[in-house]
Structure 1
Amino acid sequence: MSTPHRALIVIDVQNEYFDGQLPISYPPREQTLPRILQAMDAAKLAGVPVVVVRHLAPAGSPIFATGSHGAALHPEVSARPHQLLLDKQYASCFTGTGLGAWLCERGIDTLTICGYMTHNCDASTIIHASHDGYRVELLHDASGSLPYRNTAGSASAEEIHRVYCTVMHTGFAAVASTDDWLAALASGSALAADNVYTSHLRASGKLD
């Protein structure tokens, strides 16, 4: 693989996920926030552009209402430098934001994803980027999920995070720890994803 030309995409690290209506529970936000900040600091030192994204909903919305405390960036993220701040209304950071054009202008070919939520805006952005030809990396300890229950069933935050990370690693993204990403950043190397075929063979006991 050629040396990646990265951008770090910090997705929706907003108060809503800390002291608002949607507290991230797995991995615990007390663990994931320091990893997100570590990635931002490392990106700055390495000259990797940082894109900060926030999700905004109309005023009066129960979550992410424009101008509300919940919609504001976490203060530790807000205090750190970034090259681009984007507001979005959809799950994918590409939809209606101009992100694709900004990345293209700078010759970015690899996106490192961190932030919230693993199974929603992270996953949507990853799949969108993968389909657009980017190499993608997901920092599994710098992202997180919350539990769900609806008429289709229920799942814990741990189940949702684990399953989405496993699926993303089958080719949509290279899923790695922040430490592994920092090592790759320092060496100028790319992180590798798995694929559907070998992931299935392992689960079937046909491949070690």
Structure 2
Amino acid sequence: MASSDDQAVRATIVAAADRLYYARGIQNVGMDAVRAEAGSSLKRIYGLFPSKDLLVAAVLDHRTAMWWSGVDRAAAGAQTPREQLLSVFDFLNSWFRQDDFRGCAFINSFGELGATSPRVSEKVRAQKESFHSYVRDLVRRAGLADGVALQVTLLVEGAQTVAAITRDRDVVPQARRAAVVLLDAAAAEAGDSRAGQGAVPADGR
């Protein structure tokens, strides 16, 4: 079991690497730069992370925790599954307006290392799948078809990519409006389906 000192140093190194990787790209940042940013020795860094691949994986775990923290904060006041779904866009809107926003760290990491690092690919896929599962659970609780979950997820993922490239601050409000239209249409369809299932044939049979 790691000591409390090791855990503190590990957290400092991961946070430093996260800042550098997110701002400059993973392949552009060497371990010397991480050492300088973290204020630690290379020996200590390699003692905790024997390879850069392991450090990148730890950074992605850190980013996963940050993502869920933001989603949970945005959903704190939501009263219904629909409100929880739409609150994701409120989280994105706040995040995208930060000066250091550079898009989705998972998409960025996959773009750089997805073809060469199975560990990174696994971490990215796990995060994307867990978010899709979260959305699907909310969609089901709202009484909507599972396919709606993928549609909402695509709006969220697309907003991250477009906002990172264009720096257009209206991306999220537009994506949220599209989600509202989507959810309204899905709810109407679900209502029609339920009404149809309960209808009595004209001949009484």
Q: Same fold (TM over 0.5)?
A: no
Q: Bigger radius of gyration, 1 or 2?
A: 2
TM norm structure 2: 0.26
Q: Which has the higher strand share?
A: 1
